[in-house]
Amino acid sequence: MGYSKFDFGEDFHWGVSTAAYQIEGAHNLHGKGMSIWDKFVQNSSKIKDGSHANVGCNFYEHFENDLDLIQEMQIPNYRFSISWSRVLPNGIGEVNQAGIDFYNRLIDACLERNITPWVTLYHWDLPQALEDQGGWTNREILNWFEEFATLCARSFGDRVTHWMVLNEPMVFTGAGYFLGYHAPGRKGMSNFLSAMHHATLCQSLGARILRNELEDAKIGTTFSCSHIDPLTDDEKDVAAANRFDALLNRLFIEPALGLGYPLDDLPIAKRVEKYMLPHDESLMHFDFDFIGVQNYTREVVKANWMIPYMKGQIVNADERKVPLTTMNWEVYPQSIYQVLKKFDTYEGVKELVITENGVAFPEKVIEGRIKDLDRIQFVQSYLNQVLKAQREDVNVTGYFIWTLLDNFEWAEGFTQRFGLIHTDFETQERIIKDSGRWYKRFLQSAKVRNLVV
Ligand code: GAL
């Protein structure tokens, strides 16, 4: 590897990311209300290994120790999310002071260790009480989200300067309200389009609230994005790839930038108009300080007239003879370069931060050590592509690894280990993997040119 962290610039934000439901545990402790994920995992057939995250990594009780490990690895920025039902057990109304106190302690503990907290308002764990009233498909969510965002800004904004409104709206609306793979497990086009539109409105609404409450805050939001290639040059495959690109990469960012929904390239979304009120188009827009790019892989698409709506499909990576992760995602570092270049072409994008990138590979603990060289190589190769984009004048200003600890990987349960730190879910013992040791050396040293850990 022929670069060091200094090649990315003095002010580049190096970090690590997590999400509340995936690590906190303490699902019903100290007044926390039920979230859609607490409910969804009760049906164990929905989760690959039948597991749940009621305890998970128990970050709720181990956070000081875990922040010590972040400090030990010399990672200067830590991204986490607020569990809505921990601070507002019913989603609105009565505040759970114990929940507010937890996040206050967490934020203070970050600051004491010189770790800058980056807070995501919503990382998929809607209060079940709100889902019972329609969740993201109910336009009332604009009022509910306003209450939650205002509470977070007023409770934590005196110390938190970096905010993200939503985590990957495409995934929580697509997997949660169209395919039913994720909580709350609802399906169908009308659920999807209404959830999608309300999430788009909340994305900018949440940002406006943060801006009004916290003048100096840096405000962003995050998007899942993958470079998309057609399987062949056949015009049908190319057209299908364009539709998938509009769905997976453009649907949420374009309205935020004031460009409206990409309906010309995604005619199936035209019915969203049914859920739109006269001024919505302008309400969807917000001048974000930064855009969070979350990239893991690329997708390859082929036309298939039998598939409803999209008339095309993603060709699974294991059918393409390419290097694979245990998620069955292709290792394809150029994808992160391509999405950075693509987002950089939007006039309204000021700054890009990689808010998630990482990998799960098979791994073993041998004599107390995890030699995850393949993760180190993965990160190095993706970082190389980030640097390439930066050298071509893309304003990318940060990189956060997904993730701190092995944790609950949504519908994959505990079958996927993405952490820089190994978690023993029985004993809660943590072991910094070789990749965590490498990240530390990378962050502390002037030049790391090889894979020595
Ligand atoms: C993202 C998500 C994370 C994590 C990661 C790895 O889509 O934001 O919570 O699960 O993928 O799959």
Please state the φ and ψ torsions of residue 67, each to the nearest 5 degrees: -70, -30
Looking at residues 215-220, what average pLDDT do you find?
98
Q: What is the pLDDT of residue 451?
A: 47
Task: Give catalytic status of residue 367 as yes or no.
Answer: no
Of all protein residues, the one whose alpha carbon is nearest to atom 4 of ligand 1 is: 409
Q: What is the pLDDT of residue 447?
A: 52
Q: What spatial distance separates the first Cα and last Cα of the chain, rounded to whole Å? A: 13
Looking at residues 361-384, what average pLDDT do you find?
98
Single-letter code of the amino acid located at 354:
I
Q: Please state, for a pLDDT cut of 70, what percent of the chain lies above it.
A: 98
Question: What pairs with residue 16 in β-bridges?
Answer: 78, 401
Cα–Cα distances in angstroms (integers) from residue 89 to residues 21, 203, 351, in the given order: 14, 22, 35
Cα dihedral: 423, 402, 399, 346 (round 10): -170
CA of 147 to the centre of ligand 1 (A): 26
Q: Where are the alpha helices (DSSP H) in 157-299?
A: 169-173, 189-213, 235-245, 253-256, 280-283
Predicted confidence (pLDDT) at residue 334 exceeds the cutoff of 70: yes
Task: Give catalytic status of residue 168 as yes or no.
Answer: yes
Predicted confidence (pLDDT) at residue 1 exceeds the cutoff of 80: no
Per DSSP, the residues of 411-428 read: GGTTS----SEEE-TTT-
The sign of the CA dihedral 308, 311, 316, 317 is negative
Distance CA(220)–CA(66), nearest Å, equals 25
Distance CA(326)–CA(318), nearest Å, equals 10
Predicted confidence (pLDDT) at residue 217 exceeds the cutoff of 90: yes
Distance CA(3)–CA(349), nearest Å, equals 27
Predicted confidence (pLDDT) at residue 445 exceeds the cutoff of 90: no
CA of 173 to the centre of ligand 1 (A): 14
Looking at residues 264-275, what average pLDDT do you find?
97
Which residue ranges have their beta carbon within 6 Å of ligand 1? 19, 22, 167-168, 171, 224, 294, 356, 402, 409-410, 418
Distance CA(260)–CA(284), nearest Å, equals 8
Distance CA(229)–CA(241), nearest Å, equals 6
Q: How many residues does the chain have?
A: 453
Predicted confidence (pLDDT) at residue 362 exceeds the cutoff of 80: yes
Mutate to test the pocket of ligand 1, among 402, 408, 414 (most ligand atoms within 8 A of CB): 402
Predicted confidence (pLDDT) at residue 448 exceeds the cutoff of 90: no
24, 131, 168, 409: the catalytic one is 168
Question: What pairs with residue 398 in β-bridges?
Answer: 13, 353
Predicted confidence (pLDDT) at residue 402 exceeds the cutoff of 70: yes
Give residue-wise pLDDT tens across range 192-204.
Answer: 999 999 999 999 9
131, 299, 330, 356: the catalytic one is 356
At 2, is the pLDDT very low, low, confident or very high (cuts 50, 70, 90)? confident
3-class DSSP assignment, residue 259: coil
Looking at residues 108-135, what average pLDDT do you find?
99
Give me 386's structure tokens. Answer: 């980030």
User: Mean pLDDT across the chain, nearest whole number?
Assistant: 97
Query: Are the C-beta atoms of residues 37 and 51 closer than 8 Å to each other?
Result: no
Per DSSP, the residues of 298-324 read: EEEEEE-TTSTTTSEEEPPGGGTT--B
CA of 214 to the centre of ligand 1 (A): 28
Task: Say if residue 177 is exposed, middle or buried (CB neighbours under 10 Å; 0-12, 13-18, 19+).
Answer: buried
Give residue-wise pLDDT tens across range 36-59.
Answer: 999 999 999 999 999 999 999 999
Give me 193's structure tokens. Answer: 């389009």
Of all protein residues, the one whose alpha carbon is nearest to atom 10 of ligand 1 is: 409
Q: What is the pLDDT of residue 215?
A: 96
Query: Are the C-beta atoms of residues 378 and 286 closer than 8 Å to each other?
Result: no
CA of 80 to the centre of ligand 1 (A): 12
Residues 6+ apart with CB under 8 A from 444: 74
Please state the φ and ψ torsions of residue 101, each to the nearest 5 degrees: -60, -40
